[in-house]
């Protein structure tokens, strides 16, 4: 398949943009990656291909209608390239469990991680950290159930929930660094600690996982911008 | 022997033989929840026999808390002892498990399209309608403006289609389904016009959807809904 037949619009710091890239790598699909520097403005292609949300990632597959929303794209990749290794489990109940936890991570857990960075005062920060830790406790348990002793949530190979969760590891590490703490560690979350290493060193992941130093620099810029906007809003 | 044969013949001719003989399916919901109703529709569409358990959310049962410890919410589907929570996850589980009358086609682009609109409903329409219902003044104006923006996209998506799923009802229709019942109730209770003549395709869809065999006559009792939502509205708009 010609590289230009599959295009992915993404942004290097975005965990959501990582997800379809990992999925395409698992399926050994060649694709053209277009990096949007969102803090400099959005491209015409992005506006045209995702008029509803104007967000990345967007998958453009030939002349077909563009696919938006990271987990929807991952499922699309799994279904469109069905001859490659499977991303969703084949058992309906295991699929439901994977979908449930992926939605939990997006709806509840990662927003809590983000709120650590912009928390006003120690109390708010402590509460956010507690929420993140509680979530990691749930994910440690889920890992035990889903992996059944293997390396990944998907078993021997990376699957849907590995991709959904693993894509947040970069920002989790930045959060740990900024707050001088460990959130995933051998003592509290031994399963996740091993899993995180296996995930990040996986062939389908290592070239698309952003470098933690680079991400930390970017994180400082984002936090400063959010705080400035918050202060400006309060002045009005 | 002959008696048994007559019995089976009688059963075949007169009873709906469920498509899940020997499997235990339970649905925990409430009498009014639109999220639970989506699951009812999907089970009905597939001809699945199930036990319905209506919860009192002010006094949740131990079983509900056991089956959904993370969110402690309805609906929860329990299939042969395995619990599934979150209505859209349940809908996809139902479609994966029972293959008749699919709510998602086999085409990956179509599946992505319906999933996209289901997510749009959850992330955009539901929070906005809640804001419209619960706020006043400037906040209400902003909520209405956001609602109008969101509805434009929904109206656009219905162009050239009978239903969100195309010719047949699909995942997106089940997820948008609440509109066909609750908009009327919210309008009656609040006195606001929430879906007006600017959205002819959506208004038509609301009627067509309500008339579908699976959907017809499944709405919760109208008077009970008015009482419930009037009380809720007054809670957020206390008379001065």
Q: In terms of pTM, does the model score above 0.90?
A: yes
Q: What angle do CA B26, B21, B88 make, to 5 degrees?
A: 40
CA distance A118 to A132: 14
- Judged against a pLDDT cut of 60, whether residue A236 lies above it is answered with no
Of B89, B93, B96, the CB nearest to A103: B89
Q: Which of residues 198-237 of B touch A (CB under 8 A)?
A: none
> Which residues of chain A approach chain B closer than 8 Å at the C-beta?
52, 64-65, 67-69, 72-73, 75-76, 79-80, 92-93, 95-96, 99-100, 103-104, 138
Give the residue among A162, A207, A164 at the shortest CA–CA distance from A69: A164
| Average pLDDT score over residue span B106-127 | 98
Residue B161's alpha-carbon distances to A67, B111, B154, B209, in angstroms, are 19, 16, 12, 12
How far CA B32 is from CA of A175, B55, B124, B217, B227, in Å, comes to 42, 10, 21, 14, 12
CA distances from A107 to A164, A171, A177 (A): 12, 16, 24
Residue B10 is predicted with a pLDDT of 65
**In this complex, do B84 and A67 lie within 8 Å of one another by their Cβ atoms?**
no
- Summarised one tens digit per residue, pLDDT across range B118-154 is 999 999 999 999 999 999 999 999 999 999 999 999 9
Q: Which one of A64, A73, A96 has the shortest CB-CB distance to B84?
A: A96
Answer with the residue of higher pLDDT: B18 or A57: A57
Residue A93 to chain B, least CA–CA distance (Å) = 7
Whether B119 contacts chain A with CB within 8 A: yes
- Can you give the pLDDT at residue A231? 80
Give the model confidence (pLDDT) of B173-199 as tens digits: 999 999 999 999 999 999 999 999 999
Of A76, A95, A99, the CB nearest to B112: A76
With CB atoms and an 8 Å threshold, state whether A75 touches B85: no
> A76 vs B89: CB contact, 8 Å cut-off?
no
pLDDT at A225: 83
Comparing A210 with B9, the larger pLDDT belongs to A210
Mean pLDDT of A216-226: 87
Q: Between these two residues, A105 and A41, which has the higher pLDDT value? A: A105
Q: What is the dihedral of CA A77, A80, A85, A87, to 10 degrees?
A: 40
How far off is chain B from A88, nearest CA to CA, in Å? 12
User: Once rounded to an integer, what is the mean pLDDT over residues A106-123?
Assistant: 93
Residue B2 pLDDT > 80, yes or no? no
Whether residue B93 and residue A52 make contact (CB cut-off 8 A), yes or no, is no
Q: From the candidates B39, B81, B92, B116, which should be mutated to test the interface with A, based on the most A CB atoms within 10 A?
A: B116
Nearest CA distance, B200 vs chain A (angstrom):
20
pLDDT, residue A3, reads 47
pLDDT at residue B203, as a whole number: 98
Chain B residues lying within 8 Å of A69, measured CB to CB: 115-116, 119
pLDDT over 80 at A145, yes or no: yes
Sheet with B76-79, edge to edge strand ranges = B51-54, B25-29, B76-79, B82-85
Q: Compare all CA atoms of chain A with the CA of B69 and give the residue at the minimum distance.
A: A138
pLDDT, mean of residues A5-16: 96
Residue A49 — pLDDT band, cuts 50, 70, 90? very high
Q: Kindly list the residues from chain A whose CB atom is less than 8 angstroms away from the CB atom of residue B115.
A: 69, 72, 75
The fraction of chain A above a pLDDT of 70, given in percent, is 97
Give residue B105's pLDDT.
94
CB atoms within 10 A of CB A228: 10
For residue A111, pLDDT over 50 is answered with: yes
Average pLDDT over residues A151-167: 98
In the prediction, which pLDDT does A18 show? 98
pLDDT in tens, A29-42: 999 999 998 888 89
The answer to whether B92 contacts A100, with C-beta atoms less than 8 Å apart, is no
**In the predicted model, what is the mean pLDDT of chain B?**
94
What pLDDT was estimated at residue B14?
A: 58
Residues in B closer than 8 angstroms to A95, CB to CB, are: 92-93, 96
Q: Does B89 touch chain A (CB under 8 A)?
A: yes
Q: What was the pLDDT predicted at B124?
A: 97
DSSP assignment letter at A211:
P
pLDDT the model gives residue A1? 46
- pLDDT score of A40: 82
Question: What pLDDT does B138 receive?
Answer: 97
Each residue of B26-56: pLDDT tens digit?
Answer: 999 999 999 999 999 999 999 999 999 999 9
Chain A residues whose CB is inside 8 A of the B93 CB are: 92-93, 95-96
A-chain residues near B112 (CB < 8 A): 67, 72-73, 75-76
Average pLDDT over residues A168-195: 96
User: What is the 3 state secondary structure string of chain B?
Assistant: CHHHHHHHHHHHHHCCCCCCCCCCEEEEECCCCHHHHHHHHHHHHCCCCCEEEECCCCCCCHHHHHHCCCCCCCCEEEECCEEEECHHHHHHHHHHHCCCCCCCCCCHHHHHHHHHHHHHHHHHHHHHHHHHHHCCHHHHHHHHHHHHHHHHHHHHHCCCCCECCECCCCHHHHHHCCHHHHHHHHHHHHCCCCCCCCCHHHHHHHHHHHHCCCCCCCCCCHHHHHHHHHHHHHHHCCCC
Sheet strand arrangement including A58-61: A32-35, A6-10, A58-61, A67-68
Residue A228 in this model has a pLDDT that exceeds 50 = yes
Is the pLDDT at A107 greater than 50? The verdict is yes
> B90, B77 in Cβ contact below 8 A?
yes
Strand runs labelled E in chain A = 6-10, 32-35, 58-61, 67-68
Res A15 pLDDT > 50: yes
């Amino acid at each position: 398949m010609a590289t230009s037949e599959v295009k992915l619009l993404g942004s290097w710091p975005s965990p959501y943009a990582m997800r379809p890239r990992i999925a395409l790598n698992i399926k050994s699909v060649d694709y053209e990656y277009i990096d949007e520097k969102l803090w400099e403005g959005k491209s015409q292609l992005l506006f045209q291909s995702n008029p509803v949300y104007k967000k990345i990632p967007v998958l453009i597959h030939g002349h077909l209608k563009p696919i938006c929303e990271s987990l929807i794209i991952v499922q699309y990749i799994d279904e469109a390239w069905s001859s490659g290794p499977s991303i969703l489990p084949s058992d309906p109940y295991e699929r439901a469990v994977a979908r449930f936890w992926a939605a939990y991570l997006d709806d509840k857990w990662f927003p809590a991680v983000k709120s650590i960075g912009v928390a006003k005062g120690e109390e708010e920060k402590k509460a956010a950290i507690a929420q993140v830790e509680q979530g990691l406790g749930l994910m440690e348990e889920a890992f035990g159930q889903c992996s059944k002793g293997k390396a990944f949530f998907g078993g021997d190979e990376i699957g849907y929930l590995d991709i959904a969760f693993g894509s947040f590891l970069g920002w989790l590490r930045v959060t740990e660094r900024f707050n001088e703490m460990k959130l995933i560690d051998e003592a509290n979350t031994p399963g996740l600690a091993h899993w995180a290493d296996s995930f990040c060193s996986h062939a389908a992941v290592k070239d698309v996982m952003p470098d933690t130093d680079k991400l930390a620099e970017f994180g400082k810029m984002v936090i400063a911008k959010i705080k400035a906007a918050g202060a400006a809003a309060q002045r009005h | 022997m002959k008696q048994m044969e007559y019995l089976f013949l009688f059963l075949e001719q007169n009873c709906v033989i469920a498509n899940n003989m020997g499997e235990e399916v339970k649905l925990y919901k409430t009498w009014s929840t639109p999220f639970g109703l989506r699951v009812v529709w999907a089970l009905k569409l597939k001809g699945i026999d199930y036990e319905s358990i209506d919860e009192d959310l002010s006094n949740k049962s131990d079983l509900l808390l056991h089956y959904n410890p993370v969110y402690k919410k309805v609906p929860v589907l329990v299939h042969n002892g395995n619990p599934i929570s979150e209505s859209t996850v349940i809908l996809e589980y139902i479609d994966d498990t029972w293959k008749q009358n699919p709510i998602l086609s086999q085409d990956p682009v179509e599946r992505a399209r319906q999933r996209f609109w289901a997510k749009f409903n959850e992330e955009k329409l539901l929070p906005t309608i809640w804001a419209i219902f619960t706020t006043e003044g400037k906040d209400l104006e902003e909520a209405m403006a956001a609602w109008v923006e969101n509805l434009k996209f929904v109206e656009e998506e219905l162009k050239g289609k009978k239903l969100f799923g195309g010719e047949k009802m699909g995942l997106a229709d089940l997820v948008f389904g609440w509109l066909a019942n609750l908009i009327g109730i919210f309008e009656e209770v609040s006195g606001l016009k929430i879906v007006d003549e600017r959205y002819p395709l959506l208004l038509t869809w609301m009627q067509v959807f309500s008339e579908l065999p699976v959907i017809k006559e499944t709405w919760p009792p109208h008077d009970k809904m008015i009482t419930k939502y009037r009380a809720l509205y007054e809670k957020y708009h206390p008379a001065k």
